Amino acid sequence: MKFMAFLLTGIFFCLITGMLICPVTGIAAPQEAGTYYQATGTLHVDGNPVGMEISLDGRVAGQVPDSGVLIIENISVGQHAVMATFPGYEPQEVWVDVPDGLPAEVRIDLTKQSVGFLDISSNPPNVQVYVDDVYKGITPAKIEVLAGTHMVLLRLAGYQDWSAETIVHGGETAVVTGTMTSVSTPPVSTPSGGPSFIITILFVIAGCMIAYVQTVRR
């Protein structure tokens, strides 16, 4: 009888414990197993020219390959700023909405930057030319530059540097002529005790020695 009572008590205890634990486990389990889901998508950038650099939200994402399409994966769903740059071309920024699932596609065609020319001459000629601190040759010179403001510097040994800021418009030629100013050097004066004085003393000494030798011979 005691054994049966002990057995029934154990079974009752197990049933009560299971009723208390199981509901708690059933509530807690989803919280432990649940994770935050971040929806992501893919962006296909179809760009020209090949090799242009693509930045996504201010960060470099890559360069357009020879295939002409740059694929950017694992992008958070939503709107993003896409910037395309390439030397000699005008930069371009577009906004694209990346969905969850299907890839977003955007086409970017850059246009070449406007260029003009600098027609540079100087007096005297054959002067070193620097445009925006970059050596470009000697005068006279005709140099292709991007449209905009540029600093022209002329430099020649024995002359003061000459510089001027000039504006170049697209498709036009800006003429720049610089007149160099020589660097004045003060004349070198000969001191009283210089070479001419020493030569005079030597002639006097030589004359005295010759007179002495002639006197001795007599």
The average pLDDT across 34-48 equals 82
Q: What is the pLDDT of residue 101?
A: 81
Q: Which domains does the chain have, with CATH numbers?
A: 40-109 (2.60.40.10), 115-179 (2.60.40.2070)
Whether residue 55 is predicted with pLDDT greater than 90 in this model: the reply is: yes
Please classify residue 121 by burial: count the beta carbons closer than 10 Å to its beta carbon, then call 0-12 exposed, 13-18 middle and 19+ buried: middle
Q: What is the pLDDT of residue 165?
A: 96
Q: What is the pLDDT of residue 208?
A: 72
Those residues whose C-beta lies under 8 Å from the C-beta of residue 99, and which sit 6 or more positions away, are 41, 77
The average pLDDT across 105-129 equals 94
pTM over 0.75: no
- 51: which DSSP letter? T
The span from the CA of 124 to the CA of 126, in Å, is: 7
Residue 102: closest CA among 44, 52, 54: 44
Contact 98, 77 (CB under 8 A): yes
Contact 110, 48 (CB under 8 A): yes
The span from the CA of 99 to the CA of 78, in Å, is: 7
The average pLDDT across 174-203 equals 73
Evaluated on CA atoms 92, 94, 100, 103, the torsion sign reads negative
Q: What is the pLDDT of residue 24?
A: 40
Contact 52, 89 (CB under 8 A): yes
Whether residue 124 is predicted with pLDDT greater than 90 in this model: the reply is: yes
Whether residue 116 is predicted with pLDDT greater than 50 in this model: the reply is: yes
The span from the CA of 81 to the CA of 83, in Å, is: 7
The average pLDDT across 189-211 equals 66
The average pLDDT across 22-33 equals 43
- Confidence band of 6 (pLDDT split at 50, 70, 90): low
Whether residue 63 is predicted with pLDDT greater than 80 in this model: the reply is: yes
130 or 12, which is more confident: 130
Beta-strand pair 115-123/173-179:
parallel
